[in-house]
Amino acid sequence: MSQQIDRSSPLPLYYQLKQILLEKIESGLWSPGDLIPSEHELQETYGVSRTTVRQTLSDLVHEGVLLRHRGRGTFVTQSKLVHDPGAGVGFSEYLVQQGVNPQWQLRDRQWIDAPRHVSAILGSEQVYRLRWLFSADTTPIGHHVAYLPAAVVSEDDATQLQDDAWQERLRQTPLTPGYHVKRTLEAMPARSAEIELLGVRADVPVLSIELIVYDTSGTPIELLEACFDGSRFKYQITI
């Protein structure tokens, strides 16, 4: 791709500029996290109007290639992390394979009165709730909330199991022979929890994942609600 605008080309100017900027990213000239030239600099370099530059940048922001920070400029986004539950390895192990150090911080765990939607799924008025913040290296990108009905959590479990033991238990439960899992994925606007915990803007989409684990009798024994920064994370399903 030429690094200059061809005004004799039938291709729109904004499209040509978009391909030029993409080439800079794909070639490694601009790396994830890099600040790209300002709108004015792009106008001067490529001899196009402010409207053309803004349309180009808006397209690339919408596609997740660039990220705007008010007052700071426009940056190349980090490559999205991927999770494929059919890959045969756990979530953390899958991210390690992508060169990421996954970090889990258990924020709290306690008995609570089940929210209405949780009670409807698990059939329990009292549930044990565990809330985690998940970070890729040192950047928070997701949070998990797990609900367990009173029928599957003993008082000894609640008082004696350590944080890492809870994480291992929740990781292994869906893999138990005869158990099955129902996953629901939904794109949604960031809520106050994501804005606070993940530092995302209100206009950034987040990926919401609901996971229900059923035992061999078809009884739901775990509800997991996970939410990830949509600009950093994507879900992949291999069938």
User: Is 13-76's fold the same as 81-235's?
Assistant: no
Residue 113: pLDDT band by 50, 70, 90 thresholds?
very high
74 alpha carbon, distance to own chain's centre = 20
Q: Report the percentage of the chain scoring pLDDT > 70.
A: 95
Residue 1 has pLDDT above 60, yes or no: no
Helix (H) or strand (E) holding 133: strand 126-136
pLDDT at 185: 92
Average pLDDT, whole number, for the chain?
87
pLDDT at 183: 92
DSSP for 175-205 reads GSTT-EEEEEEEEEE--HHHHHHH---TTSE
Domain boundary assignment for the chain = 13-76, 81-235
pLDDT at 33: 82
The class level of CATH for 81-235 reads alpha beta
Against a cut of 0.75, is the pTM above it? no
The C-alpha atoms of residue 148 and residue 125 are separated, in whole angstroms, by: 11
CATH number of this structure's domain 13-76 = 1.10.10.10
The C-alpha atoms of residue 164 and residue 10 are separated, in whole angstroms, by: 60
Residue 25: pLDDT band by 50, 70, 90 thresholds?
confident
